[in-house]
Amino acid sequence: MGEVRLVTLDLLKEDPEVLAYIDGGNAHLGAMGFTDHGQRHAGLVAAIAGNVLERLGFPEREQELAAIAGFLHDIGNVVSRYFHAQTGAAIAERLLASRGMDPKEIATVIGAIGSHDPEDSATAVSAVSAALILADKSDVHRSRVRNQDIHNFDVHDRVNYAATRSFLKVDPAAKTICLQLTVDTAISPVMEYFEIFLTRMLACKRAAEFLEAQFELDINNVRLL
Ligand SMILES: [Fe+2]
Ligand SMILES: [Fe+2]
């Protein structure tokens, strides 16, 4: 093992090797007709995951680890959509170790990445992992849809396109983590949202419980969970 160096989100965001893999994974998913999983999604999930731990009073470096896990979590799509959580964890291990990150920190980051998917079994294994699951599953937004033809939208496109606003509100005093969505019901009925996102919401519920908080879902100012 070489010298231990402090690896930060800012460094990774400017790292050509990291960005090439994120872009490559996003291109593969694009070819399969999936919504955006590129630098926009990576950056947003990084910011939200870090924020969740900040709001709940976790140490700064742990917030940073959540942000790093958030930025790298979908990198495994460069290999394949299938098992992308596990391949992504292996790729992240190599990237972070070769940049000198403390192995204890790497352990936390790759455990979170490896546990963020599949949706129906995503179970938080640490605070960083819980923050990552909540951040990833709450990125539902119009800007993620790549299909240009509204008539060819599948249900995922429709639900994402209908979401004009999404915000994960963490209330440390009330111990609640609320996903607030604004959904255009002319495009997608709220029912469709549930059809797709029920498993995600259950993963969020488990993740929030790991952080000793309660998960809430609010669509168009109506509390649904
Ligand atoms: Fe993923
Ligand atoms: Fe993701």
Structure tokens at 22: 């994120």
Give the pLDDT mean for 103-124.
Answer: 94
Task: Give the pTM.
Answer: 0.95
C-alpha 27/C-alpha 29 separation (Å) is 5
Does residue 1 have a pLDDT over 70? Answer: no
Can you name the CATH fold of 9-223? Hypothetical protein af1432 (1.10.3210)
C-alpha 92/C-alpha 75 separation (Å) is 8
Ligand 1 centroid to Cα of residue 135, in Å, is 11
Which of the ligands is closest to the CA of residue 85?
A: 1
Ligand 2 centroid to Cα of residue 42, in Å, is 7
pLDDT in the model for residue 159: 87
Give the pLDDT mean for 187-211.
Answer: 89
Ligand 2 centroid to Cα of residue 225, in Å, is 22
Structure confidence at residue 189 as a pLDDT band (50, 70, 90): confident
**Ranges of each domain in the chain:** 9-223
C-alpha 129/C-alpha 127 separation (Å) is 5
Does residue 80 have a pLDDT over 80? Answer: yes
Which of the ligands is closest to the CA of residue 122?
A: 1
Measured CA to CA in angstroms, residue 13 lies from 18, 42, 75, 105, 116 at distances of 8, 10, 13, 18, 21
Ligand 2 centroid to Cα of residue 27, in Å, is 14
Structure tokens at 124: 């938080």
Which of the ligands is closest to the CA of residue 41?
A: 2
pLDDT in the model for residue 224: 85
Ligand 2 centroid to Cα of residue 44, in Å, is 10
Structure confidence at residue 155 as a pLDDT band (50, 70, 90): confident
Burial of 32 (0-12, 13-18, 19+ CB in 10 A): exposed
